[in-house]
Amino acid sequence: MIETKRAIVVGAGSSGLIAAKELLDTGLDLTILEKEASLGGVWHKYCWKTSTLTSSKWMTEYGCYPAPKEYADFMKPEEMMEYLSSFTKHYGLEDKVHFGVQVKAIARSTDGKYDVITDGETYSGYDYVVISTGLHGEPVIRDVPGIEKFTGTIMHGFKYKDPEAFRDKKVVCMGLGESGIGISSEISSVAAKTVVAAGNFNFAPRVYPYSNKPFDQIQFWPMGQYIKDYQELLSAQMSWITRLPEPLRTAYANMHPWLRDLPKEWLPTAYVPHYWAGKYWPKPNNNFGDMSGNLTRPSTAPDDIIYLVHSGKITAKGKVERFDETGVYFPDGTREEVDMVVANTGFKPGAALIEFPDNWQYRHQELYKGCLHPDMPNLAFVGFVRPTIGSIPAMAEMQSRFVAQVFSGGYKLPEKEKLKKLIKKEADAHARKNPKMTERWPHIYFFDQWMEEMAELLGTQPKIWQHLSSWKQLQGFLFGAPMPIRFRQYGSGVVAGAKERYADRINQLYGTRPQSYIIPYLTISLFFPYILSLIISAVCYWGANLSPLISIGSGLLFYTLYMTVDLFRFVVGFLPITLPSLMALEQSLPWRNCDNDSMMFLMSFPEKDRMNYANPRVFENDGLPKSELLDREIAVKN
């Protein structure tokens, strides 16, 4: 009789649950350990009552288990918890979770099996281990000089539940990450003064400008990989501010019609203007006064963090430089008297809190695809990568499918030494392409590129010849976002009907007025350097009567400079073409001459394109009704 092999998953958040499901599909005997009293991970522990997911429903759901159509585009934590609970029941994971178990260490015995040491019993003799404790393991408060002298209250943002404790207080909020934006906005509605301290502001809108369509779905790597300035396009050409020589950055920020609206303290990597960043929340959250709303309000579409800076409700500052007993100092030399400090300064990964064999300490750069260590076979990490724009659950699903294939023998890894060289090669390339990103966040990747690369490993990457039957299918392939269902069309784990559903989604996404210009714009961007190179060669030959060799060489020289020198591409492409287009668009918008910022989004705008927070619509409605959430069956081919 063949012995059933055993696997243990540490963590029952969104990453651990999908890892468990994929392992269960391979026939393993499964155990799940969770230190909290409930599943859900960050959605259970760290979310406050008025928060909302920053990734859209189609990007966040599992490709094998669509979210119900009643859920809003951006789910609330309770909806995410309900979805995860339903997923757990549907795939029979409920009875496999052991709650209230804190994992301390992983040990490897001489027979190659693993023992999982907890604060109670030891789980011994497991063939496979998956660590899915997530990136939000232990809260971190930055060590600022003088912080020990401060006599006021300092709390980490994960403890925040509502703004009432900050009423009539002078508050400094440190950090502008996903939670920092929301917390700062809410606190400003009741505090006597709110100062937001951050070194830069790196963000993108939830909703595509002027359309109410989720911004994270406007990604198109299948075509974008051939466009030299693809990442520039994704950042609306504002990423130039991070790559221009230092003396030119301020001038560029003042010249660009959208960067002008951002506080100078937050400029280095700022992406979008305050009137573009509409947050589509499932219901209005204006419980804390006229100027509040947790990043939105019924009367206006902007992200509140920028609107509140312009309205004076929030004071923008750089990073906190030092503390004294009752205040904080900033890079501009100013001091603020403070009662309370909220540190929205991130977390230490959960894996960093666990002891591993041979005293190895968690380090992302030493893992293949963020999952596998060459010296620890049959042990994997899932959920420790995150996207620039996208969702962690989607990336965790791809990792889970990959790990399941490796464990089951469906994917054969290179031998150890080759694997180590491959890991180093990929880590070096990642650091070389994204030096600023990897200094602090080595686990962050360009979402669409990463998802397609993982799909290629899995054998689930769509191919263009599979989508030539109609324009809808071809559009889905070329311009389709890397939502998880895209990679459930082919290969192992395919979901019945995924191909049509995915094409319908992309057709819906690009079917509105604001998105209608994207496809021709991308096409122009793709062919621009080639066309201009041909024009230069033609002008040299027929206009200047130069020899064919010199004419062709001139065109090739232009093409080479355009593709290799950022500043050259900026001068010949962005300044004479893109920037004037942006400025022309800016002046044509109906609210540019409107004195009342809070009403500018509503002026002269078609009703179908307006946000309605009092009675919000759900655009992504291709799922089954919520009433069928617990008993539906989705055909999965193994």
Please give the full DSSP string across 426-455, using - where no structure is assigned. HHHHHHHH-HHHHHH-TTEE-HHHHHHHHH
Per the CB < 8 A criterion, the answer to whether 325 and 300 are in contact is no
Q: How many CB atoms lie within 10 A of CB 284?
A: 17
- Mean pLDDT of all residues belonging to the chain: 81
- CA 32, 38, 42, 43 dihedral sign is positive
pLDDT tier for residue 162 given thresholds of 50, 70 and 90: confident
Per the CB < 8 A criterion, the answer to whether 331 and 319 are in contact is yes
**Could you report the per-residue pLDDT of 617-637, keeping only the tens digit for each?**
455 667 677 766 555 444 433
Sequence-distant (≥ 6) Cβ neighbours of residue 357 within 8 angstroms: 106, 107, 108, 375, 376
**Could you report the per-residue pLDDT of 272-319, keeping only the tens digit for each?**
333 333 333 332 233 333 333 333 322 222 346 766 777 788 898 989
Least confident of 289-303, 340-354, 399-413, 536-550: 289-303
Q: What is the mean pLDDT of residues 463-488?
A: 93
Per the CB < 8 A criterion, the answer to whether 327 and 336 are in contact is yes
Greater confidence, 438 or 289? 438
**Can you read off the two tokens belonging to residue 454?**
């993982």
pLDDT tier for residue 474 given thresholds of 50, 70 and 90: very high
Exposure class string for 504-515: b at 16+ Cβ within 10 A, else e:
ebbbbbbebeeb
Q: How many residues does the chain have?
A: 638
Its pTM stands at 0.86
Q: How many CB atoms lie within 10 A of CB 465?
A: 7
Distance CA 611, CA 617 (A): 8
Q: What is the pLDDT of residue 204?
A: 64
**Could you report the per-residue pLDDT of 60-110, keeping only the tens digit for each?**
999 999 998 888 788 888 889 999 999 999 999 999 999 999 999 999 999
Q: What DSSP character marks residue 457?
A: H
Q: What is the pLDDT of residue 616?
A: 41
Q: Is the pLDDT of residue 582 over 60?
A: no
In the chain the domains, ranked by start, together with CATH numbers, are 6-137+349-462 (3.50.50.60), 141-345 (3.50.50.60), 517-605 (no CATH)
What are the CA-CA distances from residue 168 to residues 163, 339, 359, 374, 628 (Å)?
10, 10, 49, 55, 47
Phi and psi torsions of 117, nearest 5°:
-95, 125
Exposure class string for 380-391: b at 16+ Cβ within 10 A, else e:
bbbbbbbbbbbb
Phi and psi torsions of 89, nearest 5°:
-70, -40
Query: Integer distance in angstroms from the first to the last C-alpha of the chain?
Result: 24
Distance CA 583, CA 88 (A): 50
Q: What is the DSSP string of 9-73?
A: EE--SHHHHHHHHHHHHTT-EEEEEESSSSS-THHHHT--TT---SS-HHHHSBTTBPPPTTS-S
To 5 degrees, how large is the angle CA 344–CA 347–CA 351? 170
3-state helix, strand, coil in the chain (%, to 5): 45, 15, 45
Per the CB < 8 A criterion, the answer to whether 354 and 104 are in contact is yes
Q: What DSSP character marks residue 155?
A: E
Distance CA 292, CA 298 (A): 10
- What single-letter amino acid sits at 275? Y
pLDDT tier for residue 513 given thresholds of 50, 70 and 90: low
Give 23: exposed, middle or buried? Use CB within 10 Å, 0-12, 13-18, 19+: buried
DSSP lists the bridge partners of residue 495 as 636
Q: What is the pLDDT of residue 199?
A: 77
CA–chain centroid gap for 248, Å, is 29
Distance CA 468, CA 22 (A): 31
Distance CA 306, CA 312 (A): 10
Distance CA 219, CA 234 (A): 7
Q: Is the pLDDT of residue 426 over 50?
A: yes
Of 575, 626, 638, 473, residue with least CA distance to 71: 626
**Could you report the per-residue pLDDT of 312-324, keeping only the tens digit for each?**
888 989 899 999 9
Per the CB < 8 A criterion, the answer to whether 276 and 209 are in contact is yes
Give 288: exposed, middle or buried? Use CB within 10 Å, 0-12, 13-18, 19+: buried
Per the CB < 8 A criterion, the answer to whether 48 and 28 are in contact is no
Distance CA 26, CA 406 (A): 11
